[in-house]
Amino acid sequence: MVRDIVTTLKDKRLAAFSVYIPMLIGDSKSPALESAKNMKDAGIASFWDGDRSLGKAYGQTVTLPEGKKTAWDIYSIYGPDAIWDKTPPKPVFWMHQLGLDDRRLDPERFRAAVELQLKNLQ
């Protein structure tokens, strides 16, 4: 996703963020910080959500597959008017890697949604 969208598009209007959430055995802050170095090189700000609070908030903002309550491995697009408050705003478009449904991550489809959002800003 980094290469396909952020690195390739290189659009100054595009801001990308990565949030690491410990969901699997072995997930911890140390590997997240190591991965964050690669993200920083691509111009992506990274954050650690050790208590899963953002993941749980997203779980209330979007309908996750298979009854999941905590969002992780999700990709969201927001327009310039998105207002961040106590909970994340509903994204303009989003995909995930949490199950098999129509929102299952398809990098080409997600990139097309990013490009459409950028085109609509012109």
11-33 residue pLDDT tens: 888 889 999 999 999 899 999 99
For the record, the structure tokens of 67 come out as 């009854």
Domain ranges of the chain: 2-117
Residue 59: half-sphere exposure toward Cβ, Cα within 13 Å: 16
- 42-46, 53-57, 66-70, 113-117: which has the minimum mean pLDDT? 42-46
According to the model, what pLDDT value does residue 42 have? 84
Task: Provide the pLDDT confidence category of residue 38 given band limits of 50, 70 and 90.
Answer: confident
